[in-house]
Amino acid sequence: MIDISIIILSTLRRSTPLIFASLGAVYSERSGVVNIGLEGIMLVGAFVSVIASNAFGLLPGILLAVVAGMAVAALHGMATITFKANQIVSGVAINLFGMGITAFIPEALMGMTDIRALNSAPLLAGLTPLVYVAIALIPVSHFLLFHTVLGLRLRSVGENPASADSLGINVSTMRYLGVVLSGALAALGGAYLALEQGGGFTKNMVAGRGFIALAAMIFGNWTPFGALGASLLFGFSDSIQTVIQTMGYTIPSQAIQALPYILTIIVLVVAVKRVRMPEADGKPYLR
Amino acid sequence: MPELDREEAKRAAAPIVSLAIAFIIGGIIVALIGKNPLDAYISIFRGAFEDWGFTLFWATSLIFSALAVAIAFHCGLFNIGANGQLMMGALAATYFSLRFSGVPGAILMPTVVFAALCAGAFWGFIPGVLKAKRGTNEVVVTIMMNYIAISAVSYALTYPMKDPGSWIAQSAPLPESLLFPRIGNTLGTDPMVFVAILMAVLSYIFLWRSRMGYELRAVGFNQLASAHSGIRVNRIITLTMCLSGAIAALSYFNYLFAYQYRAISDVLVGTNVGFDAITAALLANNNPVMVLLSSLLLAILYSGGLTAQFELGVPSSFYLFLEGIIIFSMVVFSVILGGKND
């Protein structure tokens, strides 16, 4: 007999980085900027959180990781919003940059690729605080995006930047806001992975979660609650792998690993009418 | 100066300026970790030259994937799925090689190539047809296809295709009749390097001298106008992605048939060539012939980077970092210099 609470806790743990990053993707894409650089930003967040928390303590470490994530995202914003460069190309650059710098610095300065975290987070009912933060941010983001003037403005520049502009909304400012928020959230996801799940930083530890988060955001139809649901689903499918194997079923783990991606494609194909990306998502705004 | 020449000059300047910027920023970083930047760059270029076989080998893989990215780009499509396409190509090639290992090489090799082309084309077909029929974003689908390919390769080489005698996830050795000869037995001198060069020239001819190439570029330039002038846009989009996937599928042939002589799961799954290819295509301005140069340059940085790591302790991840800056300055500077913005 499998203890249900173990599966629930494991699902929540595995979902948390995805919840953060996919929520970040919602902000960015709602403002009209595709950010496939989430993977790289998560890596930077994970890396900085370990270095900074070892030096200054847990909370400052997490905050500095968020700042670093925002800074990297601002680079993406500069390229795509100010210079109106291709958003995919810039995202690829962010990923290469993130992979490169987080491997380069520890190797060059410390002669190793892995860094242990010295501080560990306290447990609240079996889960670390960032899990609760992630879940709490979902209703907050829903309210912010769909029930405030700021949210309306942010969404308007992602749907129709020209008319938003004509109403006096600063398209660039709103898009920077969306992108920088996505950087902050992706970095939190990375910090969670490194500090509260991994016990430190290892080279390339994000291992594709930035891309799964992108899938979760699409699966969740560009909404915070949708992103939460999809992240939980993907986290669940991830955590039942071990359960299935201990129960003696011979479903190869690779089949379950591929599931989020297959599901996302199916959703894109089947539910094409329901799933709708913001109108101006991915398009630079040329005045 | 006539307007056209100025545009051309600006477009040609962007890669050179970006490379210069990347080398300068990279040099600063190297200096920050307490090494001499000049020594590092000398070590990189000397190392790449001394180990020219490996440099050429690496460039060969990169050329195929970069051509795949460049061709798709001319049609306005972003194929960031070259990783998945090359993995599926390698997997199909391995499967057919081992399944029909008794067949003479002269018959088997064309079959194997055809199988790989089909596998890559199929991996490109799915995002292509979804884009054409449903308007689904090809970037998202190619990302998903990359990860599905990772699972497929990892599964195949862990279970059904695993070499029973080995303790890691890899295939049995490929049949001897299929192995590529190498000049003087040096790495990088197998036939694939010549195929890659030929493929670049053919791609150039295809894009600028063939009817489909013309239609492909027309769709990339303006879909609506192309549709009005009678081009079947959906068909072109689907076919372009198939073609792109098929070319990418050949990327690891040199790896399979002239280096490791078997498919190793960790190597295929861990590939970054499909993303390096984006840098190469971008640096080449998506010109297939220039892709040869840009791929060679990236291969020099990669191969020489290993030397610099060995000699000076500059981590080989310097390469990824440098690549990120190259792309970044490329996109920013081509806009500043007033080049095409897409």
Instruction: For B68-120, write each residue's pLDDT tens digit.
Output: 999 999 999 999 999 999 999 999 999 999 999 999 999 999 999 999 999 99
In the predicted model, is pLDDT for residue A127 greater than 80? yes
What is the tally of structural domains in chain A? 1
Please give the mean pLDDT across all residues of chain B: 92
Residue A268 has a pLDDT of 80
Q: What average pLDDT score do residues A132-147 get?
A: 96
Q: Which of A186, A183, A64, A49 is nearest to A121 (CA)?
A: A49
Contact (Cβ atoms closer than 8 angstroms) between residue A43 and residue B296: no
**B278–A282 C-beta distance less than 8 A:** no
Choose between B13 and B111: higher pLDDT. Answer: B111
* Residue A200 three-state SS: strand
Q: What percent of chain B has pLDDT over 70?
A: 96
What pLDDT was estimated at residue B137? 86
Q: Nearest to residue A69, comparing CAs of A29, A106, A39, A32?
A: A39
DSSP character string of A128-179: -HHHHHHHHHHHHHHHHHHHSHHHHHHHHHHH-HHHHHHTT--HHHHHHHHH
A275 versus B206: the higher-pLDDT residue is: B206
Q: Which two tokens stand for residue B97?
A: 């090689």
* Closest-CA distance of chain A to residue B189, Å: 29
Q: What is the mean pLDDT of residues A189-208?
A: 91
pLDDT digits (tens, 9 = 90+) for A71-84: 999 999 999 999 88
Per-residue pLDDT at A2: 62
8 Å CB contact between B244 and B70: no
Query: Mean pLDDT of all residues in chain A?
Result: 90
Task: Please tell me the predicted confidence (pLDDT) of residue B1.
Answer: 45
Q: Report pLDDT for A97.
A: 92
Residues of B28-64 as b/e, b for ≥16 C-beta within 10 angstroms?
ebbeebebebeebbebbeebbeebbbbbbbbbbbbbb
The verdict on residue A107 lying in a domain is: yes
How many CB pairs lie under 8 A apart between chains A and B? 150
Residue A132 pLDDT: 94
The range of the structural domain enclosing residue A99 comes to 15-211
Query: By the CB < 8 Å criterion, does A149 face chain B?
Result: no
Binary contact (A254, B147; C-beta < 8 A): no
Average pLDDT over residues A184-206: 92
- The answer, yes or no, to whether residue A251 has pLDDT greater than 80, is no
For the domain made up of B25-336, give the CATH fold: ABC transporter involved in vitamin B12 uptake, BtuC (1.10.3470)
A108–B320 CB contact, under 8 Å: no
Return the half-sphere exposure (C-beta side, CA atoms, 13 A cut-off) of residue B174.
28
Out of A40-49, B9-18, B287-296, pick the least confident: B9-18
In a domain, residue A239? The reply is: no
**DSSP conformational letter for B175:** P
pLDDT in tens, A151-175: 999 999 999 998 898 898 999 999 9
ipTM for this model: 0.87
Q: Where are the domains of chain B?
A: 25-336
**Partners of A124 in the beta sheet?**
A127
Q: Quick check: B145 and A261 CB within 8 A?
A: yes
Residue A144 forms part of a structural domain: yes
- Give B276's pLDDT tier (boundaries 50, 70, 90): very high
Residues of A in contact with B134 (CB under 8 A): 268-269, 272
